[in-house]
Amino acid sequence: MIVLTNIELTVLMSAVLAALMVGSVHLRVNLWLYGATTILIAIATGLTAYPNEEPSLLLIALLIAGLKSIAIPLFLAWTMDRIHVHRDLGALVAPPIAMHSSILLLGLSFLLTQGLPTPSGTGAGWYGASAGISLVLTGLLLMLTRRLAISQIIGFLVIENGIYVFALTQTRGMPLIIEMGILLDVLVGVMLAGLLTFKIQETFEHIDIAKLTDLKD
Amino acid sequence: MITELIHWLFFLLSVLLAPIVILGTIRKTKARLQARRGAPILQAAFDLIRLAQKGETVSSTASWIFRAASTIGLCNVLLISWLVPWLSFAPWAPPADLFLVVYLFAMSRIFTLLAALDTGSAFGAFGASREATLSLLVEPAALLGLVALGATSRTSDLREIFSFTNTHLQMNPAIWLLVGTAIILSSLVELSRMPIDDPTTHLELTMVHEAMILEASGRNLAIIEFTHALRMSVLFGLSVQCFMRAAPAVWKLPEIIQAMITIIGLLTIAMAVGVFESLAVKLQWRRIPEFIAYAITMSLLAALIAVAGGIV
Amino acid sequence: MDPSLLYGNLPIVLGVFLIAFLSTRKRLNQNFLSLILLSLACILIVGSICSGSSAQRWSTELPILSGIFPLTFLSDGLSSLFLLILAVVSVGIALLSPGYLSHRQDRLHAGHYWSATFIFVLSMCAVILSADAITFLVFWELMSITSCVLVATDHHQHSVQKSALIYLGATRIATALLSAGFLWMHAISGSWCFESWHFNAANSYGAAVLILIGFCIKSGIWPFHIWLPYAYPAAPAPVSVLMSGAMINIPLYGIIRILLCGDLNSSEIATFALLLGSISAFWGILFALVQNDIKRLLAYSSVENVGLILMAISLAIKARIANLPDICLMALTAATFHCLNHGVFKALLFSSAGIIDTQAHTRDLRHLGGLVRAMPYTTACFLVGALAACCLPPLNGFASKWLLFQSLFRSIWESHSLLDRGTCIAAICLLSIVSGLTLASFTKVTAVCFLGKSRSNRSENAKECRAGMLAAQIYFATICVVLGVSAPYVTHSLSRVLADTLHLNFSQAPTTAINTPLMALLLCALFSLIYISFSSRSPVRSYSTWDCGFGPLSARSQVTSDSFAQPLARIFSPFLQYQTEIELSGKDRRHFPETINAKTRMVSLLESRVYLPALTIISHLAKMLARFQAGSIHIYLLYVCITLVLLLLLSAKL
Measured between beta carbons, which residues in chain A are less than 8 angstroms from residue B170? none
- Smallest CA–CA distance, residue C460 to chain B, in Å, is 13
**Angstrom distance (rounded) from CA B99 to CA B106:** 10
The 10s digit of each residue's pLDDT in B134-155 is: 999 999 999 999 999 999 888 8
Q: Which whole number is the average pLDDT over C274-278?
A: 94
The 10s digit of each residue's pLDDT in A202-217 is: 677 777 776 666 665 5
> In whole angstroms, how far apart are CA C479 and each of B17, C329, C381, C649?
41, 24, 11, 66
Nearest to A2 among B293, B296, B309 (CB): B309
Helix or strand or coil: residue A51? helix
pLDDT of residue C2: 47
Positive or negative, the Cα torsion across B273, B274, B280, B282? positive
**pLDDT band of C271, cuts 50, 70, 90:** very high
Residue A164, burial from CB neighbour count under 10 angstroms (0-12, 13-18, 19+): buried
The 10s digit of each residue's pLDDT in A116-149 is: 766 655 545 678 888 888 999 999 999 888 888 8
pLDDT of residue C28: 65
How many domains does chain A contain in total?
1
B136 touches chain A (CB under 8 A): no
The 10s digit of each residue's pLDDT in A22-73 is: 988 888 999 999 999 999 999 988 888 777 677 788 888 888 888 888 888 9
Which chain C residue has its CA at the smallest distance from B119's CA? C452
Among B163-167, B291-295, C294-298, C341-345, which is the least confidently predicted range? B163-167
Q: How many CB atoms lie within 10 A of CB C642?
A: 10
pLDDT of residue C653: 67
DSSP 8-state secondary structure symbol assigned to residue C556: G
Which chain A residue has its CA at the smallest distance from C574's CA? A93
Q: What is the mean pLDDT of chain C?
A: 85
The 10s digit of each residue's pLDDT in C434-469 is: 999 999 999 999 999 999 888 888 777 788 888 888
Measured between beta carbons, which residues in chain B are less than 8 angstroms from residue C446? 114
Q: Which chains touch C (3 or more CB pairs under 8 A)?
A: A, B
Return contacts of C408-413, CB within 8 angstroms, 24+ apart. Answer: C408/C315, C409/B99, C409/B147, C409/B150, C409/B151, C409/B156, C410/C326, C410/C327, C410/C330, C411/C315, C411/C318, C411/C319, C411/C324, C411/C327, C412/B147, C412/B151, C412/B306, C412/B307, C413/B151, C413/B154
- Smallest CA–CA distance, residue A31 to chain C, in Å, is 29
A23 touches chain B (CB under 8 A): yes
Which chain A residue has its CA at the smallest distance from B309's CA? A1
Q: How many CB atoms lie within 10 A of CB C468?
A: 18
Does residue A168 sit within a domain? yes
| Helix, strand, coil percent content, chain B, rounded in steps of 5 | 75, 0, 25
Q: Which whole number is the average pLDDT over C189-213?
A: 89
Tally helices (H) and strands (E) across chain B: 11, 1
Its domain, for residue B86, covers 2-308
Cβ-based neighbours of B140, under 8 Å, separated by 6 or more:
B296, B299, C429, C432, C433, C436
**Angstrom distance (rounded) from CA B260 to CA B254:** 10
Q: Please name which of B82, B255, B85, B233 lies closest in space to residue B153, comparing C-alpha atoms.
A: B85
Measured between beta carbons, which residues in chain C are less than 8 angstroms from residue B114? 443, 446-447, 451
Q: Where are the alpha helices (DSSP H) in B247-312?
A: 255-279, 288-308
Q: Please name which of A74, A71, A42 lies closest in space to residue A59, comparing C-alpha atoms.
A: A42
Q: Give me the residues of C, 520-549, that contact B with CB < 8 A.
A: 522-523, 526-527, 530-531, 534, 537-546
Q: Which chains touch A (3 or more CB pairs under 8 A)?
A: B, C
ipTM of the complex: 0.94
Mutate to test the interface with C, among B100, B156, B214 (most CBs of C within 10 A): B100
CB contact under 8 A, B139 and C558: no
Q: Give me the residues of B, 145-184, that contact C with CB < 8 A.
A: 147-148, 150-151, 154, 156-157
A96 touches chain B (CB under 8 A): yes
pLDDT of residue B209: 86
Q: Give me the residues of B, 203-222, that contact C with CB < 8 A.
A: 214-215, 218-219
Which chain B residue has its CA at the smallest distance from A114's CA? B308
User: Is residue B284 over pLDDT 70?
Assistant: yes
- Compute the CA torsion angle C79, C85, C87, C91 (nearest 10 deg): 180
Q: Which whole number is the average pLDDT over C165-182?
A: 92
A107 touches chain C (CB under 8 A): yes
Backbone angles phi, psi at C130, to 5 degrees: -65, 145
- Smallest CA–CA distance, residue A99 to chain B, in Å, is 7
- Smallest CA–CA distance, residue A58 to chain B, in Å, is 26
**Angstrom distance (rounded) from CA B21 to CA A35:** 39
**Angstrom distance (rounded) from CA B121 to CA C557:** 8
Q: How far apart are the first and last CA of chain C?
A: 41
User: Is residue C23 over pLDDT 80?
Assistant: no
**Angstrom distance (rounded) from CA C271 to CA C315:** 8
- Smallest CA–CA distance, residue C407 to chain B, in Å, is 11
CB contact under 8 A, C419 and A107: no
- Smallest CA–CA distance, residue C383 to chain B, in Å, is 10
| Element of type H or E holding C599 | strand C595-602
DSSP 8-state secondary structure symbol assigned to residue B159: H
- Compute the CA torsion angle C55, C61, C62, C67 (nearest 10 deg): 140
**pLDDT band of B198, cuts 50, 70, 90:** confident
Backbone angles phi, psi at C598, to 5 degrees: -115, 125
Nearest to B311 among A2, A94, A97 (CB): A2
CB contact under 8 A, C409 and B214: no
Its domain, for residue A161, covers 6-216
A111 touches chain C (CB under 8 A): yes
Measured between beta carbons, which residues in chain A are less than 8 angstroms from residue C570? none
**Angstrom distance (rounded) from CA C260 to CA C257:** 6
Cβ-based neighbours of B302, under 8 Å, separated by 6 or more:
B144, B145, B148, B149, B175, B178, B179, B182
C429 touches chain A (CB under 8 A): no
Work out the percent of chain B whose per-residue pLDDT is above 90: 53
How many domains does chain B contain in total?
1
The 10s digit of each residue's pLDDT in C475-525 is: 999 999 999 998 888 888 888 888 888 877 665 655 556 778 888 888 888
Does residue A1 sit within a domain? no
Residue B253, burial from CB neighbour count under 10 angstroms (0-12, 13-18, 19+): middle
- What DSSP assignment string belongs to C182-212? HHHHHHHHS--BGGG----SGGGHHHHHHHH
> In whole angstroms, how far apart are CA C133 and each of C138, C185, C422?
9, 10, 38
- Smallest CA–CA distance, residue B74 to chain A, in Å, is 34
Return contacts of B248-254, CB within 8 angstroms, 24+ apart. Answer: B248/B170, B248/B171, B248/B173, B251/B164, B251/B170
Most confident of A47-61, B157-171, C42-56, C597-611: B157-171
Among A77-81, A82-86, B105-109, C329-333, which is the least confidently predicted range? A82-86
Which chain B residue has its CA at the smallest distance from A3's CA? B312
Q: What is the mean pLDDT of chain B?
A: 89
